[in-house]
Structure 1
Amino acid sequence: MRVAVIGASGRMGKNLITAINDADGVSLGAAVLKPGSSLIGADAGEIAGIGKLGVAAVASLLDCVNDFDVLIDFTTPTLTLENAAFCAQHQKAIVVGTTGLNDDEKAALNQAALQSAVVFAPNMSVGVNLTLKLLATAAKILGDEYDVEIIEAHHRHKVDSPSGTALRMGEVVAEALGRDLKECAVYGREGQTGARTQKEIGFETIRAGDVVGEHSVWFATEGERIEIAHKASSRMTFAKGAVRAASWLSGKSAGIYDMQDVLNLK
């Protein structure tokens, strides 16, 4: 599989280029930068700091449309939808790690998946996706007697809150308990909020420094508390998962998939 990376000079882009170079069964086909970037034409490997790879960075997907089979996108919701539409038009697969998509944007991504294969997950980490499986199991066993609280922390530059991973954790727990997260979620507490209701799922958000990503889910009742947590110390864990998803897409038909499909956890 020839893989294209968009936002190749960013923090995730550099990690993705390195992960692709280190993985078996995939190769870097294209590296895309913002139009007007001073790095256009530079070798993608040198941009990532791993030496020359023989792939020159370009300004748009149209400039490299014949050079890749699957695109990995960790950009912004608006740009991601443009890229997904491009991939659908040109029968290219796409791996989407972008967070912060609203319901309408997710629907647009599903529309693109009618024409091309799409892996969309709020977190590409193998460990996080195993954690989601553990959360579903715990929620089914513990039931409504346990209060559920989700605490997440990320770096100061993250623009969406709560994180897409935290929201997905909430969705998984809510589904296992037969609840609708939109109806039972509580985002932060302040002032005289009254006693906690039995079926609410609480979210607390921390934004500080250079935290890559930390998530902890509490199941608490009288006399005990169970915590299921995941801590990422490097963006490389997300990059490796995304590259694994890109490789998995080889030969897949059009449709929307997630990391639970990639890891055979369903």
Structure 2
Amino acid sequence: MTFTTARRVAVAGASGRMGRMLIEAVLASTDGVLAGALDVAASPAVGADATAFLGRSSGVPVTADLRAGLAGCDVLIDFTRPEGTLAHARACAELGVQMVIGTTGFDDAGKAALAQAAEKVAIVLAPNMSVGVNVTMKLLELAARALGDGYDIEIIEAHHRHKVDAPSGTALKMGEVIAEAQGTRLAERAVYERYGHTGERPAGAIGFATVRGGDIVGDHTVLFAGTGERVEITHRSGSRAGYAQGSLRAVRWLADKPRGLFDMFDVLGLR
């Protein structure tokens, strides 16, 4: 779906790897215009043109001033860190700017703050914006319902050495989807650490294993291990391009939404 009036998009973390990927995706789109670029005050990119890394000029400077960076924008795409995203959400709610949030690692208070902001503006919040990952989530929902008791569930995720939270937000979301599909809550079943003499595996547990190293963009495997068979559902990201394209789908989908908190299942019609 495209629109006759281009959506004016701001990008947070504009000088980071994901921020630059998002800027390139907006520039390459036929219905999006780069209208704002935000970064922390300490970033050496502040004051420079947002597309200088591409050897071209956009006329959009990178700024740490939220009001200046969001002026005239329709929507902010934010893949930064919880504290930054929450500050952005407060500003967006005040200014009437929608948000597409791929930031992970929010605590309960952070999630509540985003829900409060969504009472004023429309927000898509998802730990992973990739279309493929969200289709994988739907497959996990179906598998969890069909397999049920008798299958032990383990979630294995791998990311680059710079990732600061563990397990990944995507892995946690996978666990939540599985638990909800089976009529339970992840908090009641999650096992995040194993060390020493652990005893037998608790019945019904959802185990997590985390790998960090190199430049791995993001790999997730969910193992359903039964008696005499196992089912593995895997998604691997080879680049951040899938996150950027999914984010643009969310930007388009939000165009007619006045307020509310949504996720990529809403965007993709997977409910």
The answer for the alignment partner of 1:11 in structure 2 is: 17
| Pairing 1:29–2:35 present | yes
3-state SS, counterpart of residue 62 of structure 2: coil
Deviation, 1:33, is 2.2
Does structure 1 retain, via aligned residues, the 8 Å contact 2:153–2:225?
yes
For 2:136 and 2:74, locate their aligned partners in 1 and report how far apart those are by CA, in whole Å: 30
The answer for the alignment partner of 1:120 in structure 2 is: 125
Does structure 2 retain, via aligned residues, the 8 Å contact 1:144–1:198?
no
Cα RMSD for the two superposed structures? 1.2
The answer for the alignment partner of 2:153 in structure 1 is: 148
Deviation, 1:184, is 0.7
| Pairing 1:263–2:268 present | yes
The answer for the alignment partner of 2:71 in structure 1 is: 66
For 2:87 and 2:242, locate their aligned partners in 1 and report how far apart those are by CA, in whole Å: 26
For 2:268 and 2:217, locate their aligned partners in 1 and report how far apart those are by CA, in whole Å: 23
| Pairing 1:212–2:214 present | no
| Pairing 1:97–2:84 present | no
Partner amino acid for 2:201? R
For 1:149 and 1:92, locate their aligned partners in 2 and report how far apart those are by CA, in whole Å: 39
Deviation, 1:42, is 2.1
Long gaps (5+) in structure 1: none
3-state SS, counterpart of residue 68 of structure 1: coil
The answer for the alignment partner of 1:192 in structure 2 is: 197
CA deviations 1:167-226 (Å, max 9, x no partner) are 000000001111211011001311111111220000000011111000000011111010
Aligned residues: 265
Does structure 1 retain, via aligned residues, the 8 Å contact 2:10–2:70?
no
For 1:119 and 1:25, locate their aligned partners in 2 and report how far apart those are by CA, in whole Å: 19
3-state SS, counterpart of residue 223 of structure 1: coil
3-state SS, counterpart of residue 27 of structure 1: strand
Q: What is the TM-score with the length of structure 1 in the denominator? A: 0.96
Long gaps (5+) in structure 2: 1-6
> Structure 1 residues 35-44 or 156-165, which shifts more?
35-44
CA deviations 1:103-156 (Å, max 9, x no partner) are 111011000000000000000000000000000000100011111000000011
After superposing on structure 2, the runs of 4+ consecutive aligned residues of structure 1 that deviate more than 4 Å are none
For 1:185 and 1:8, locate their aligned partners in 2 and report how far apart those are by CA, in whole Å: 35
3-state SS, counterpart of residue 245 of structure 1: helix
Does structure 2 retain, via aligned residues, the 8 Å contact 1:93–1:117?
yes
Does structure 2 retain, via aligned residues, the 8 Å contact 1:18–1:50?
no
Partner amino acid for 1:227? E
> Structure 1 residues 35-44 or 75-84, which shifts more?
35-44
Does structure 2 retain, via aligned residues, the 8 Å contact 1:135–1:173?
yes
Q: What is the TM-score with the length of structure 2 in the denominator? A: 0.95
